[in-house]
């Protein structure tokens, strides 16, 4: 459940093991020791997702040819 104690506890346990999460219908969550660290992590996650999305599109085009 969004905003629940269980959700925050789950993030706290996994924070050191992941660079970020994409939550369905909620957006992203990224860890950072400072707000600037979190901002840079968010930018990295967005750029990686963009690259993967573009590669996936090229893969689909390749498969259709």
Where are the domains positioned within the chain?
5-64
Tokens of 59: 């893969």
Model pTM above 0.75: no
What digits encode the pLDDT tens for the residues 14-25?
Answer: 877 878 887 777
pLDDT in tens, 28-62: 888 889 999 999 999 999 999 899 989 888 877 76
- Per DSSP, the three-state class of 24 is coil
DSSP state string for 38-59: HHHHHHHHHHHHHHHHHHHHHH
Q: What is the pLDDT of residue 39?
A: 95
């Amino acid at each position: 459940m969004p905003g629940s104690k269980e959700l925050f506890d789950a993030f706290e346990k996994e924070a050191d093991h992941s660079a970020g999460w994409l939550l369905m219908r909620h957006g992203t969550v990224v860890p950072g020791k400072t707000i600037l660290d979190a901002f840079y992590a968010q930018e990295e996650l967005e750029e990686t997702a963009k690259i993967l999305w573009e590669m996936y599109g090229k893969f689909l085009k390749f498969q259709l040819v």
